[in-house]
Amino acid sequence: MEQNPTENLTPFRYFILNKPYNMVSQFISSHKVKLLGDLEFDFPEGTHAVGRLDINSEGLLILTTNKKVTRLLFEGDIKHTRTYLVLVENKVSEETLDNLRNGVTIRVKGGGDYTTTPCEVDLVEKPENLFEGGYKFSEYKAYTWLQLKLTEGKFRQVRKMVAAVRHPCKRLIRVAIEDLTLKNLQPGCIQELEENEFFELLNIENFKNEL
Q: Indicate if 98 belongs to the active site.
A: no
Rounded distance between C-alpha atoms, residue 23 and residue 99, angstroms: 32
Percent with pLDDT over 90 in the chain: 71
Set out the domains of the chain in order of their start, with CATH numbers.
11-78+178-206 (3.30.70.580), 81-177 (3.30.70.1560)
Residue of 75 and 103 predicted with greater confidence: 103
In three-state form (DSSP H/G/I as H, E/B as E, the rest C), the secondary structure along the chain is CCCCCCCCCCCCCEEEEEECCCCCCCCCCCCCCCCHHHCCCCCCCCCEEECCCCCCCEEEEEEECCCCHHHHHHCCCCCCCEEEEEEEECCCCHHHHHHHHHCCEEECCCCCEEECCCCEEEEECCCCCCCCCCCCCCCCCCEEEEEEEECCCCCCHHHHHHHHCCCCEEEEEEEEECCEECCCCCCCCEEEECHHHHHHHCCCCCHHHCC
Quick one: average pLDDT of 60-86?
Answer: 90
Going by their DSSP bridges, the two strands 82-89 and 143-150 should be labelled as antiparallel
Name the band, by pLDDT with cuts 50, 70 and 90, for residue 1. Answer: very low
Whether the pLDDT of residue 18 is over 90: the answer is yes
Closest CA to 127 of 187, 167, 177: 187
Whether 186 has a pLDDT exceeding 70, the answer reads: yes
pLDDT of residue 9: 62
Phi/psi of residue 100, nearest 5 degrees: -65, -40
Per-residue pLDDT tens over the stretch 106-148: 998 777 899 999 999 999 998 887 777 667 777 888 999 999 9
Active-site hit among 38, 54, 98, 179 = 54
